[in-house]
DNA sequence: GGCCCCTGTGTGACCGGTCACAATCCTGGC
DNA sequence: GCCAGGATTGTGACCGGTCACACAGGGGCC
C-alpha cells in the first residue's frame, strides 16, 4: 500500500455571514435571510448578497447552524457491524432516507456488549438534538437498547419480538416468524420428513425466544412431524461449515433451514465436502437473500428480507420524532419477507 | 414489516454548563475545567461539580463544543457505495481508527457522478473544521476528487495510479499492478497459454489506464504470450455472468482473471451452466477476497486486498492533517496484496 | 516585611449562526 | 393628505460551550 503526503493550502478562517454582510453592505440578518430563502428580500439585495457569497466562498457552518437552531439534522447509527449484508443494507436504507431529508448520518460501531463500553458509546453518539438509530439484531445492540436513557431520541431495528412490544416503543422489524414458517412449509411440501434448524444467536431473552425458530417450530408442529433440537450456530460461514459437518454425518438429515445466508453458505460447503448432493440428498434454505446467494452452486433458496426498507422506516420514524416530538403514524414501507425458491431445495430423496 | 409508535417523555431542555454551575455554586468556567479534566481545580470543588453533573444528567453538547473550539473531531466519508465488500471494509477501517481517536464518522453516498449532485454533496459534507475521506474507486468518487475545493481537508482512497501522483496529494492505495501481475503469473505457471481479463470499470483517464489491467498485461508480455483484448465488465455478479457466457463459448479460453470477486462469482456460474468445469477446463481468479469467496464451489483463488488497512491509513493521514495542518509521515499500515490460491485454479487442460 | 509566583477561581468576549422584535419604507384606501 | 398594514431591513440577545485574562490568596525567598 502507498500513501502520499500533503501540504495545506488556503489562508485565514472561512467567511462568516457577518463577513458577507459587510461585503454586501447589508446586515448579517439579511444574509441569513438570503441563505435560507426567506421571501421578503428585495431581488436587488438578494443579488448583491449572493454575489458576495460567491466572491468570499462563503459556506454556512453546519455546526453553528445546529447550535443556534437547536436542530442538528443528524442521525447516528449505532451498530455492532457495518459489513455483513443485513446490517449494511439497513444502513444503506437509513442513509438514503436521511439524505433525501437533508439529514447527515453518522456511524458508530459497538465492539462488544460490555456495559461500560456501550454506555460510553451511547454517551458519545447521543448529541442533544440529534437522533439515534440502533441496530439491535445482536447482543451489543440489544444491550444498547436496554442502557439507552429514557429520554433519548431513538428508534431501533429489532429482531421480531415474540409479542407486540409495549406501546410507544419506536421499533421496526420484519415478520420473521411467518417467513420461517413459509420456508419450513416449502420444505415439508417437498416431502421432507422434518426440517433441521441452524440458528443464528438470538437476543430475545423473554419467553417465546427467537421468532425464526418459532416459525419453524410452528410449521413442523402444524404438520405433525417431529421437531428436532435446533442447532446453535453463529453468524459466519465458518459457523455454518462447522455445524454442516455434523449435520452431514446424520443420514436422517435431508432438509436444513439456516438462520442466515452465510450459515447456509458454510453448510453447503460442508455437505459438498461430505459428498452429500444438494438438493438431491439434502435441501438447504437460507435467510436474508444476500446479493451473491443467487449465484452460488447451487443457487440458494432463501427468504428475502427488506433490510433497506427497515432502514428507511427507521429513519422515517425518527424523522417524525424529531420534527414533531410526538407519536407518528407507522410507515409500512418495507416489503414483507418472501421466499425465493432457487436450486438448493428439491424433493426429499427416496428412502 | 412492523413499526410501533412512540411517546416523547422527559421535560425541558437539557442542562448546560451554566445550569450545572448554578447548582454547584461555582462559575461556568469551573464546570468547563472539570469536564475537561483541567488539573487546577480543588478536589472538593471538583466533587461538588461532578455531583451536580450527575444530578442534572448533564452531557456536553458536541455541537457547542465544536463551534467554540473550532475542532469538530468529525470525518465524513464520501462514497458511491456502502454495501459492496471493498467499500464496506474500507469504511470499517476508517470507523475503527476514527473511534480510537474519538472522532465521529459520517457517511454520505454519492448516487451518480453528475456534477451538480457531486458539488452539492461536497458542499453538504464539508463542514469547516471537519475532515473528508473520499472513496474514489469509481466515477462518482473520482468526480468528487476533481470537484473538491482546493482548501478542503481531504484524503482519498484511490485506484492505483499509473505513476506517482503529484507530491502533496493525500492519497492512499494498494499496489494492484503487482498483485495482478502475480495472479497472472500464477495462471501462466499452471501452463495456460494466455489469460483473459475481465475488467471492472476503470476511473483512470490518464494514459497508463487501470493498473490491474496493466499488471496483467505486464505478466503476459513478460512471458511472451498473446495478449487478448480485455473484456469490459461491471461491478456486479450479473456483469460477470454476462461476460462469462460469452467466454464459455470460446474453447480457447482456459484462464480468466476477474477485476473483483463478484465478477468471478458470475463467471463461475456462467461456466458451470455451460458445462465447463472449474478448474479442470477453465481457471478463474478473483480480486478482493470477499468473505464468502473461500466457501464458493469451487473456493475462489483470489487476491486479498487490505481494504480495512487502507481505511485506517486514510484516517491516520486525515488525523495528522487536522491536528497539525501540515504534511505528515506516511503510515504504512495496510498489508500488501497477497494471492490466495484455492480451488478455482488448476493446471491448463491437455490439448 | 515585601515581592513574586503559582494555584484556584471568576468575568466577559467570542465562535457563527438564528430568533424575536423594532424600525423604516411603500402602497392603497378613504 | 392621513393612516393602516405589509414588505424590507436592522438590532441585539441567545444557543452552549471555549478562550484570554483578571483577580484573590498562600507559600517561599531574600
How far is A183 from chain B, CA to nearest CA, in Å? 17
Task: Report the percentage of chain A scoring pLDDT > 70.
Answer: 91
Residue B325 confidence (pLDDT):
55
pLDDT at A207: 44
Q: What is the pLDDT of residues A8-43, one digit of tens each?
A: 334 568 899 999 999 999 999 999 999 999 998 999
Quick check: B269 contacting A, CB < 8 Å?
yes
Buried b (16+ CB within 10 A) or exposed e, B236-260: bbbbbbbbbbebbeeeebbbbbbbb
Distance between CA atoms of B6 and B198, rounded to whole angstroms? Answer: 51
Coil, helix or strand for A53?
helix
Q: What is the pLDDT of residue A178?
A: 92
**CB contact B264 to A (< 8 Å):** no
pLDDT of residue A72: 87
pLDDT at A113 (0 to 100): 92
* B66: nearest CB among A9, A63, A269: A63
| Rounded Cα distance, B188 and B192, in Å | 5
State the number of CA atoms in the 13 A half-sphere of A22 facing the CB. Answer: 6
Residues 296-325 of B with CB under 7 A from strand D: none
User: Which residues are paired to A157 by β-bridges?
Assistant: A135, A172
* Cell triple for A166: 409495549
Tell me the C-alpha distance between B46 and A210, whole Å.
47
Considering only A78-82, A331-335, B76-80, which range has the smallest mean pLDDT?
A331-335
Quote the pLDDT of residue B29.
Answer: 96
Residues 99-158, chain B, touching A (beta carbon < 8 A): 99, 102, 104-109, 123-124, 126-129, 149-151, 155
Between B162 and A137, residue with greater pLDDT: A137
Please confirm whether the linkage preceding A279 is cis (ω < 30° from 0).
yes
Q: Is A289 left (phi over 0), alpha (psi -120 to 50) or beta?
A: left
Looking across all nucleic acid strands, the nucleotide with the smallest C1' to CA distance from residue B38 is: C8
Please, which residues have CB within 8 angstroms of residue A50's CB and are 6 or more apart in sequence?
A: A34
pTM of the model: 0.92
Nearest by CB to A237, which of B6, B104, B291? B291
Alpha carbon distance, N-terminus to C-terminus of chain A: 57
Residues of chain B with pLDDT under 50: 5-10, 207, 327, 331-332
Give the whole-angstrom CA distance, residue A170 versus residue A158: 10
Q: Min CA distance, A42 vs chain B (Å)?
A: 26
What is the nearest nucleotide to A41, using C1' and CA? D8
Most confident of A69-73, A127-131, B54-58: B54-58
Instruction: Report the mean per-residue pLDDT for chain A.
Output: 90
3-state secondary structure of A74: strand
Does any strand D atom come closer than 7 Å to the Cβ of B35? yes
Confidence of residue A184 (pLDDT cuts 50, 70, 90): very high
Whole-number Å distance between alpha carbons of A41 and A109:
45
- Contact predicate A49/A31, CB 8 Å: yes
Is A132 strand, coil or helix? Answer: strand
Chain B residues 180 to 239 with C-beta below 7 Å from nucleic strand C: none
Searching chain A, which residue's CA lies closest to the CA of residue B329? A5
- Out of B7, B14, B128, the one facing A128 most closely (by C-beta) is B14
CA/C1' separation A24–D13 (Å): 24
**Of B168 and A245, more confident:** A245
Residue B330's pLDDT is: 55
Residue A338 has pLDDT above 50, yes or no: yes
Looking at the partner chain, which of A13, A57, A83 has a beta carbon nearest the beta carbon of B88?
A83
Say whether B107 and A95 touch across the interface (CB within 8 A).
yes
Distance from CA of A61 to the nearest CA of B (A): 6
What angle (nearest 5°) sits at the alpha carbon of residue A297, between those of residues A294 and A302?
40
State residue B130's pLDDT score. Answer: 81
Q: Which helix (H) or strand (E) holds A167?
A: none
Amino acid at each position: 500500500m502507498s500513501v502520499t503526503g500533503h501540504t495545506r493550502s488556503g489562508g485565514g478562517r472561512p467567511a462568516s455571514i457577518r463577513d458577507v454582510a459587510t461585503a454586501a453592505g447589508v446586515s448579517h440578518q439579511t444574509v441569513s435571510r438570503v441563505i435560507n430563502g426567506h421571501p421578503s428580500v428585495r431581488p436587488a439585495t438578494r443579488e448583491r448578497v449572493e454575489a458576495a457569497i460567491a466572491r468570499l466562498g462563503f459556506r454556512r457552518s453546519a455546526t453553528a447552524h445546529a447550535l443556534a437552531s437547536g436542530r442538528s439534522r443528524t442521525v447516528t447509527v449505532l451498530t455492532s457491524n457495518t459489513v455483513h449484508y443485513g446490517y449494511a443494507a439497513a444502513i444503506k436504507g437509513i442513509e438514503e432516507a436521511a439524505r433525501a431529508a437533508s439529514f447527515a448520518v453518522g456511524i458508530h460501531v459497538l465492539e462488544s456488549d460490555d456495559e461500560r463500553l456501550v454506555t460510553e458509546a451511547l454517551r458519545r453518539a447521543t448529541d442533544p438534538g440529534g437522533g439515534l438509530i440502533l441496530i439491535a439484531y445482536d447482543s451489543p445492540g440489544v444491550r444498547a437498547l436496554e442502557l439507552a436513557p429514557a429520554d433519548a431520541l431513538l428508534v431501533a431495528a429489532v429482531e421480531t419480538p415474540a409479542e407486540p412490544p409495549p406501546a410507544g416503543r419506536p421499533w421496526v422489524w420484519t415478520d420473521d416468524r411467518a417467513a420461517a414458517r413459509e420456508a419450513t412449509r416449502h420444505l415439508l411440501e417437498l416431502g421432507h420428513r422434518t426440517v433441521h434448524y441452524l440458528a443464528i444467536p438470538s437476543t430475545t431473552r423473554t419467553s417465546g425466544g427467537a421468532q425464526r425458530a418459532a416459525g419453524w417450530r410452528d410449521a413442523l408442529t402444524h404438520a405433525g412431524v417431529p421437531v428436532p433440537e435446533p442447532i446453535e450456530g453463529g453468524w459466519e460461514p465458518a459457523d455454518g461449515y462447522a455445524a454442516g459437518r455434523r449435520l452431514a454425518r446424520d443420514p436422517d438429515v435431508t432438509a436444513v433451514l439456516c438462520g442466515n445466508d452465510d450459515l447456509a453458505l458454510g453448510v453447503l460447503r460442508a455437505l459438498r465436502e461430505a459428498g452429500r448432493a444438494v438438493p438431491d440428498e439434502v435441501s438447504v434454505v437460507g435467510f436474508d437473500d444476500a446479493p451473491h446467494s443467487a449465484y452460488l452452486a447451487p443457487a440458494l433458496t432463501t427468504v428475502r428480507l427488506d433490510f433497506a426498507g427497515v432502514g428507511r422506516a427507521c429513519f422515517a420514524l425518527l424523522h417524525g420524532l424529531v420534527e414533531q416530538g410526538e407519536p407518528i403514524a407507522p410507515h409500512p414501507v418495507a416489503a414483507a419477507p418472501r421466499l425465493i425458491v432457487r436450486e438448493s431445495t428439491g424433493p426429499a430423496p427416496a428412502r
